[in-house]
Amino acid sequence: MENLEETRKRASQLKLMAFDVDGVLSEGSLFFTDNGIEMKAFNSLDGLGINMLQKSGITVAIITGRKARCVELRMENLHVELLYQGISDKLGTMHELLAKLGLSADQAGYMGDDIVDLHVMDACGFSAAPADCHEMVKPYARMVSSKIGGRGAVREVCEFILAAQGKLDAALAPYLPAPAK
């Protein structure tokens, strides 16, 4: 991993932050009902982090290898319109997304947790991983959160990005009470 100042500099340039789902936005377990419906648990802390990024002008995308209706519903709830599920070529999808948005790779970040995320993480200007990511992922992550996937890791990364861009105080302000007199 590089030094913290270089990582902050990279995060300060982001206009797009993309996330994997399993092991990042969820803790990675896959639950199936007897009817074959896939279920996942999402953390509300992570959801608020995504909302704060969006309200601060950073586009959020989801690029995931699996496809599940519960992910679609959660992203609708978070107003994330750039949802790419069932993706085997995450890097190709990122390149298409960058072209669509008119952005360079230096303006994009990706958070993943496993070896299927390495190519896209390596191609982006900023990359992050949860604390419990696969060991082979850590050298490719510019930031490894102190939290595990599905348990606040995304929120930690979102706040890091907002702080690097000087937007964290403004993002938190609507939720904080007025100082006591």
When divided into structural domains, the chain yields a total of: 1
pTM summary value: 0.93
Range of the domain at 66: 8-167
Asked if residue 21 is part of any domain, the answer here is yes
In a domain, 78, yes or no: yes
- Averaged over successive runs of 10 residues, the pLDDT of the chain (181 residues) comes to 86 97 90 87 94 97 94 96 96 97 97 97 97 96 96 97 96 88 76
CA atoms within 13 A of residue 60's CA, in its CB half-sphere: 27
Q: Is residue 181 one of the residues assigned to a domain?
A: no
126-129 vs 143-144, strand pairing mode: parallel
Alpha-carbon torsion 45, 93, 15, 157, what sign? positive
Kindly state whether residue 42 falls inside one of the protein's structural domains.
yes
CATH of the domain at 51: 3.40.50.1000
Whether 61 is in a domain gets the answer yes
Answer whether residue 179 is part of any domain.
no
